[in-house]
Amino acid sequence: MEDFEQQLRNALGRKQQPPTFEAKVFAAVAAQRSSRSVFWRWATEVAAVVVIASGFWMGYQHEIQQRAGEAAKARLEIALKITVTELSKIQKTVRTSTEEE
Amino acid sequence: MTFAEVLRANQSMVFSLAFHFLRDAGAAEEVAQDVFLRLYQKLDELDGPKHATFWLRKATSRRAIDYVRKRGSRPAIALEDIAEPPTAEQPGDPLLNRRLRQLVATLPEKPRMVMVLRYQEDLMPEEISDVLDMPVRTVKSHLQRSLAMLREKIDRSMGDIR
């Protein structure tokens, strides 16, 4: 049995890899590294565009809200002025009628 | 431990493991390249040269088995037509060695990988069990059955030659 096992060891001894093997592996590693760096450059550019666009969008939204708030404030001021004017008219009317009595 | 050091120390082992299992030098080279590319990504996680060698044996075994499953059960080339890559020194009878390699190639996937790890890498059943994630008992049983079958076939075929 030992003889047979030794024959198997002889038969299944290590083989020599092709002479270009090492160079091919290094080339594949370099290609993988450069494709990764291209991906990361692309991803960074996309992320920058997204950040800038969202900044513009938030600024635009803020301005719309600010304008809407100012318009509402102006309407409220007009409404208050009208109310004050109407109230003083009523007050005058009441005072006049009380004096006549 | 740099990638180049690990590659130089293990390229023959990885290529031979894939070649003895696949019996196809082109496929073995493809598998070995793929394994080293994965190693490049994993290198930081590996704890020294021994761990790297263990990881390479494991990765090559898995990748070679996957390769056969994807390719289907048919061998790419007839076993007799396979061009043998060079060996540094080949002790023993070249005809017998060739016949034994052909017979090992006819074994089912798992027992074949067990035989290659045992007789190419000289691993003990416990080490093979770690590499293949297989119980030691199963490894031993694959070894016994494969040895008996190969011995019977080689006796028959060498008897025919004589």
- pLDDT (tens digit per residue) in B47-91: 999 999 999 999 999 999 999 998 875 555 555 555 666 665 667
- pLDDT (tens digit per residue) in B4-49: 999 999 999 999 999 999 999 999 999 999 999 999 999 999 999 9
Chain A residues with CB-CB distance to B97 below 8 A: 7, 10-11
Interface check for A3 against chain B (CB to CB < 8 A): the answer is no
Compute the average pLDDT of residues A47-71. 89
Is there a contact between B136 and B129 (Cβ–Cβ < 8 Å)?
A: yes
> Half-sphere exposure of residue A54, counting CA atoms within 13 Å on the CB side?
6
Hey, which CATH number is domain B1-78, 2.60.40.10, 1.10.3470.10, 1.10.3260.10, 1.10.1740.10?
1.10.1740.10
Residues 6+ apart with CB under 8 A from B114: B128, B132, B134, B139, B142, B143, B146
pLDDT at B162: 47
pLDDT at A2: 64
Hey, which CATH number is domain B90-162, 2.40.10.10, 3.90.1150.10, 3.40.50.2300, 1.10.10.10?
1.10.10.10
ipTM beyond cut 0.85:
no
Contacts of B38-45 with CB under 8 Å at 24 or more apart are: B39/B3, B39/B6, B39/B7, B40/A29, B40/A32, B40/B3, B43/B1, B43/B3, B43/B6
Residue among B97, B146, B158 with most chain A CBs within 10 A, to mutate: B97
Is there a contact between B49 and B9 (Cβ–Cβ < 8 Å)?
A: yes
Of chain A residues 21-40, which have a CB less than 8 A from chain B?
A: 21-22, 24-26, 28-29, 32
- CATH 1.10.10.10 domain residues, chain B: 90-162
The C-alpha atoms of residue B129 and residue B131 are separated, in whole angstroms, by 6
pLDDT at A48 over 60: yes
Q: Find how far residue B6's CA is from the centre of its chain.
A: 19
- CATH 1.10.1740.10 domain residues, chain B: 1-78
pLDDT at A43: 83
pTM of the model: 0.70
Query: With bands split at pLDDT 50, 70 and 90, how would you rate the model's confidence at B106?
Result: very high
pLDDT at B83: 63
pLDDT at A46: 85
